[in-house]
Amino acid sequence: MAVTLLGLAPEELRVIEGLSLQPRQHSAGSVQGERLTQKRGISIDFRDFREYSEGDDLRHLDWNILARHETPILKTHRDEEDLTLTLAIDCSASMAYGSPSKFELAQRISLALGFVALQAGDAVSFIPLRTERLRPTTFRGRPGLVRFAQGVTQLKTDSQSFDLSAELKRISHLKMKRGITAIITDALHPEFLVSLRTLSRKDHEVWVIQILSQEELQPNLEGDLSLVDCETGEAVEITINRESLKRYQENLRSLTDGIKSQCLALGGRSLTTPSHTHLVSLIRDTFLREKWLA
């Protein structure tokens, strides 16, 4: 499949062209179903100041502040405040598993959601969940598309073990504007459901996109085996038979059901998909059909 400078194939870019994010929650003061126009009109309802980012409309610069402090600051108004999509991308070693890998699909989903947001005038911030704690990078407007794509496509999975739950809790303490936090992960951490609750906050919606390999969804194993944790290197001796596979499927179903109920309780969304899923199919069959995008 040919890939463009933006990291996605032409047919993938075509299917997301003109779409926008559809959060289930709405900020205080807006009415149900309202998404304020992305074409920046002038409103008399002043909201706040924020720092200028590449791609912002220069008409909204506060020229007095710029002249006094040599710092570009924008005035925002109620109908101009953008929604922020925060992409939390799991870079743990387990994400490299699968064929194609879970991480490869995670990157493509991140690119697609990010492009949808940026082309609609929303802001995008992405946070790699990994050992090296990096500050969120925020992009705005079409000028940010290429830099965003470069940032996501250059990500690699982490060779060291780290606490995914602790990383999610760290995100919960970051100062973030209203919007959506999309966690793209395999969710294979014992405290994942607990850490999800820490992300609950007013005017912020949680989306969880769980990616699992075909081997994790339908393991084809049997007999006495030594299973090695790809993140910690710890080995577990286990006998795999029909009964143990049944218990595994029950535990996996409990995890995916728990993610779904937790996201619904937080006013968000969730899905579980195999790593070999085609992005175009995922967009058409899930994101569009279930109104994640429109």
Q: What is the residue extent of each domain of the chain?
A: 46-77, 82-218+255-288
Q: Which residues contact 161 (CB under 8 A, 6 or more apart)?
A: 92, 93, 131, 231, 232
Rounded to 5°, the CA angle 287-291-294 comes to 85
CB 54 within 8 A of CB 78: no
pLDDT number for residue 97: 93
Please give the class, per CATH, of domain 82-218+255-288.
alpha beta
Q: Which residues contact 248 (CB under 8 A, 6 or more apart)?
A: 219
Q: Say what angle helices 145-153 and 102-119 make with each other, to 10 degrees.
A: 170
Q: Cα–Cα distance between 141 and 114 in angstroms, integer?
A: 11
The sheet carrying 204-212 orders its strands as: 137-140, 123-129, 84-90, 179-185, 204-212, 269-274
Q: pLDDT 10s digit of each residue in the chain, 294 long?
A: 566 667 899 999 999 999 999 998 754 333 233 344 444 444 555 666 777 665 566 666 777 777 777 778 877 655 445 688 999 999 999 999 999 999 999 999 999 999 999 998 899 998 998 877 667 788 988 778 999 999 999 999 987 777 887 888 887 777 666 789 999 999 998 889 888 888 876 667 999 999 999 999 999 989 999 988 887 788 999 999 999 999 999 999 999 999 999 999 888 999 999 999 999 999 999 999 999 999
Q: Which residues contact 290 (CB under 8 A, 6 or more apart)?
A: 269, 271
- For residue range 132-187, list pLDDT tens digits in order: 766 778 898 877 899 999 999 999 998 777 788 788 888 777 766 678 999 999 99
Which helix (H) or strand (E) element contains residue 248? helix 242-265
pLDDT number for residue 29: 31
Q: Cα–Cα distance between 74 and 270 in angstroms, integer?
A: 34
CB 191 within 8 A of CB 86: no
